[in-house]
Chains A and B, each alone.
Chain A
Amino acid sequence: DGGITQSPKYLFRKEGQNVTLSCEQNLNHDAMYWYRQDPGQGLRLIYYSQIVNDFQKGDIAEGYSVSREKKESFPLTVTSAQKNPTAFYLCASTRTSGSYEQYFGPGTRLTVT
């Protein structure tokens, strides 16, 4: 079955540690996105990538980094510079031609203490 996988579903880290969230898709989509979701707020875009080896900052990129070495994979690193890293992180992908419907992964809930 085609889809997006994110792992792990729950992640716990100590303050000051970098942590990398995984996102893999087998939908053959060119574009991939990372969103952050906080209670009472809409999803906010962290980074996105329209093509392999290229990515752009979203609205809240500070304290995060990404890479896009393969079409299928778009890992997100939450660095120690991110002031409030505890949140629910969602990865999504879409085609860049035809239907632009976004497909979402199941999310990773990150807790930093």
Chain B
Amino acid sequence: KNEVEQSPQNLTAQEGEFITINCSYSVGISALHWLQQHPGGGIVSLFMLSSGKKKHGRLIATINIQEKHSSLHITASHPRDSAVYICAVKAGATNKLIFGTGTLLAVQP
């Protein structure tokens, strides 16, 4: 079993829909990252959080440390949101990350 699990693996939505991607982890962490990878391959950091909730534009990330669970929400989804969304956790004393396998999101117009 992976230490970081994401669901769903694949998600297709219609433009304008509210989207939720989930991440569960089984290790103690000091921070959790949400990353976005576009088809070209480059990865962009969306959020890094250790408690509570963060919002940036139409993106919202929440984390529940007790339940070892995080969610990434996209409001009013748009085709340009189509990408792979990756959850990663920082565990241990180093800055090493443990990655989930990603959620492939396709937003159709």
Give the B-binding residues of A (Cβ under 8 A).
31, 33, 35, 40-45, 48, 50, 58, 88, 90, 92, 94, 96, 99-107, 109
Supposing A99-B48, A106-B42 touch, asked if A42 and B101 sit within 8 A by C-beta, the answer is yes
The residues of B that contact A94 with a CB separation of less than 8 Å are 95
Q: Does B2 contact A42, Cβ atoms closer than 8 Å? A: yes
Number of A-B contacts (CB under 8 A): 59
Give the A-binding residues of B (Cβ under 8 A).
2, 4, 31, 33, 35, 40-45, 48, 86, 88, 90, 94-102
Minimum CB distance partner of B102 in chain A: A42
Q: Does A100 contact B48, Cβ atoms closer than 8 Å? A: yes
The residues of A that contact B40 with a CB separation of less than 8 Å are 106
Supposing A42-B2, A42-B99, A42-B102 touch, asked if A104 and B44 sit within 8 A by C-beta, the answer is yes
**When the two chains form the complex, which single residue of A88, A92, A101, A103 contacts B41, counting CB atoms closer than 8 Å?**
A88
Minimum CB distance partner of B87 in chain A: A42
B34 CB, nearest partner CB in chain A, Å: 11
The residues of A that contact B95 with a CB separation of less than 8 Å are 31, 48, 50, 94, 96, 100, 102
Q: Does B96 contact A103, Cβ atoms closer than 8 Å? A: no
Q: A43-B88, A104-B45 are in contact. List 11 more A-B contacts (CB 8 A).
A: A31-B95, A40-B101, A43-B97, A44-B99, A45-B97, A94-B95, A101-B33, A102-B95, A102-B97, A104-B43, A104-B44
Supposing A50-B94, A100-B31 touch, asked if A107 and B41 sit within 8 A by C-beta, the answer is yes
